Amino acid sequence: MDDIILLKQGEIVLKGLNRKSFEMKLIANINKRLKPFGKFRIYAVQSTIYAEPQGDCDMDGAYDAVKTVFGLAAVSRAAACEKDKDALLETAKRYLGDELNRAKSFKVETKRSDKSFPMTSIQMSQYVGGELADAFPHVKVDVHNPEFTVHLEVRDYAAYVHGPSEAGAGGMPAGMGGRAVSLLSGGIDSPVSTYMIAKRGVSIIPVHFFSFPYTSELAKEKVIELARILSRYCGRMKLEIVPFTHIQEEIRAKCPEELFTIIMRRFMMRISDKIADYNDCKAIITGENLGQVASQTLEAMAVTEECAKRLVLRPVIGHDKREIVETAVKIGTFETSILPYEDCCTVFTPRHPRTKPRLDDVIKAESALDVEALAEEAFRQIKRIVIEA
CA separation for the pair 203, 181 (Å, rounded): 9
List 76, 110, 185, 211, residue binding Mg ion (CB under 5 A): 185
CA separation for the pair 87, 152 (Å, rounded): 11
10-18, 76-84, 105-113, 187-195 -> range binding Mg ion (CB under 5 A): 187-195
CA separation for the pair 41, 101 (Å, rounded): 33
CA separation for the pair 126, 288 (Å, rounded): 56
Identify each DSSP E strand in 216-289 by its residue range: 237-243, 283-285
- The item of ligand ATP, Mg ion, none sharing an interface with residue 208, based on CB under 5 to 8 Å by kind, is ligand ATP
Pick 158 or 262: Cβ nearer ligand ATP: 262
Give yes or no for residue 187 binding Mg ion (CB under 5 A).
yes
Give yes or no for residue 191 binding Mg ion (CB under 5 A).
no
CA separation for the pair 221, 226 (Å, rounded): 9
CA separation for the pair 309, 221 (Å, rounded): 30
**Ramachandran bin of 166, using left for φ above 0, alpha for ψ from -120 to 50, beta for the remaining angles:** beta
- Count how many Cα atoms sit within 13 Å of the Cα of residue 165 in the half-sphere of its side chain: 22
- Number of residues interacting with Mg ion: please give it, by CB under 5 A: 2
Tell me, what DSSP letter sits at residue 304? H
Binding site for ligand ATP (CB under 6 A): 183-185, 187-190, 207-209, 286-288, 292-293, 295-296, 343-345
Pick 114 or 335: Cβ nearer ligand ATP: 335
Inter-residue contact 150 to 95 (CB < 8 Å): no
Give yes or no for residue 231 binding Mg ion (CB under 5 A).
no
Give yes or no for residue 353 binding Mg ion (CB under 5 A).
no
79-87, 182-190, 239-247, 361-369 -> range binding Mg ion (CB under 5 A): 182-190
Pick 30 or 300: Cβ nearer Mg ion: 300
Pick 65 or 184: Cβ nearer ligand ATP: 184
Pick 77 or 208: Cβ nearer Mg ion: 208
- The item of ligand ATP, Mg ion, none sharing an interface with residue 288, based on CB under 5 to 8 Å by kind, is ligand ATP
Binding positions for Mg ion, rule: CB under 5 A: 185, 187
